[in-house]
């Protein structure tokens, strides 16, 4: 897949940073697009910018604050607690987020002549977000191609990996420490290993612990 251009939907978190390394190993020209939707962890945008600079890839920030005007959820309203209840969408679900982000990424891709779009969604450690599922991505891929008379390929390198396997993938690119130190996954915007309390931190840190235990020949499987 060399000699082709790719756009990475990039948030400065563990998943999309791992996807960025994945894309850099596959495509000749890689660019990133980051969305400002008034997220409570807006600090992630600054981390995304710094990572892009360090890896010398173009960084494009798009204003998507209109999502915030339309819906209230725990990621866009400080007063809404982060909660996950059985049988309900998590309070951190932002309706339309991945649909809109990928659609705008596709507009950007078409503008710069890129065929490939990469997103770090995964349904393995299922967050409860319907727009992280494989069927949604495949459906949107068809829709975008029809909408824009294009032949985009949406890549989801993390779709079938759990968090431990995402850490393993970053290690394969020699980027384990980079991802550990320079990304923000935490819903409260605390970089690196984060606040340690929110669901995003727990998933990230448990995955890292499991991976490191396996790597050093520990008991964890
Ligand atoms: Zn956290």
Please state the domain count of the chain: 1
Evaluate whether residue 97 is within a structural domain.
yes
Q: Residue 194's domain spans which residues?
A: 5-215
pLDDT of residue 126: 65
Identify which has the larger pLDDT, 77 or 181: 181
**212 Cβ contact list (under 8 Å, min separation 6):** 167, 218
Least confident of 78-87, 155-164, 176-185: 78-87
Annotated ligand binding at 189? The verdict is no
The helix/strand/coil state of 167 is helix
Annotated ligand binding at 132? The verdict is no
Evaluate whether residue 125 is within a structural domain.
yes
Asked if pLDDT for residue 1 goes beyond 60, the answer is: no
Asked if pLDDT for residue 221 goes beyond 50, the answer is: no
Instruction: Give the separation between CA 215 and CA 126, rounded to whole angstroms.
Output: 24
Give the pLDDT confidence of 111-121 residue by residue, as tens digits.
999 999 999 99
Evaluate whether residue 221 is within a structural domain.
no
**Strands in 133-178 per DSSP E:** 153-155
Q: State in Å: Cα 152 to ligand 1 middle.
A: 34
Evaluate whether residue 51 is within a structural domain.
yes
- Vertex 44, ends 38 and 46: CA angle to 5°? 100
* Nearest by Cα to 6 from 103, 101, 119, 98: 119
* Nearest by Cα to 218 from 209, 167, 175: 209
Evaluate whether residue 211 is within a structural domain.
yes
List the CATH number of the domain containing 126. 3.40.50.620
The whole-chain average pLDDT of the chain stands at: 90
Asked if pLDDT for residue 143 goes beyond 60, the answer is: yes
Annotated ligand binding at 13? The verdict is yes
Evaluate whether residue 96 is within a structural domain.
yes
pLDDT of residue 150: 96
Average pLDDT of 44-65?
A: 95
Asked if pLDDT for residue 12 goes beyond 90, the answer is: yes
By the CB criterion, residues less than 5 angstroms from ion ligand 1 are: 186, 188, 194-195, 198, 201
pLDDT of residue 103: 97
Q: State in Å: Cα 44 to ligand 1 middle.
A: 12
Evaluate whether residue 71 is within a structural domain.
yes
pLDDT band of residue 3 (cuts 50, 70, 90) is low
Evaluate whether residue 220 is within a structural domain.
no
pLDDT of residue 219: 52
pLDDT of residue 77: 72
């Amino acid at each position: 897949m060399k000699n082709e251009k790719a756009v990475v939907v990039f948030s400065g978190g563990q998943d999309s940073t791992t996807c960025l390394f994945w894309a850099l190993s596959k495509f000749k020209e890689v660019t990133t697009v980051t969305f400002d939707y008034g997220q409570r962890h807006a600090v992630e945008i600054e981390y995304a910018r710094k990572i892009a600079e360090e890896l010398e890839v173009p960084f494009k920030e798009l204003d998507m604050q209109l999502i915030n005007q339309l819906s209230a959820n725990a990621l866009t309203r400080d007063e809404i607690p982060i909660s996950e209840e059985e049988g309900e969408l998590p309070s951190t679900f932002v309706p339309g987020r991945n649909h809109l982000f990928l659609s705008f990424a596709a507009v950007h891709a078409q503008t710069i002549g890129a065929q490939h779009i990469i997103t770090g969604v995964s349904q393995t450690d299922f967050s409860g977000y319907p727009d992280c599922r494989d069927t949604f991505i495949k459906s949107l891929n068809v829709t975008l191609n029809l909408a824009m008379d294009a032949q985009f390929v949406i890549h989801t390198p993390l779709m079938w990996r759990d968090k431990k396997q995402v850490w393993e993938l970053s290690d394969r690119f020699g980027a384990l420490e980079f991802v550990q130190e320079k990304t923000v996954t935490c819903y409260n915007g605390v970089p690196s290993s984060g606040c340690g309390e929110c669901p995003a931190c727990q998933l990230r840190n448990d995955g890292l612990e499991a991976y490191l235990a396996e790597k050093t020949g520990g008991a964890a499987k």
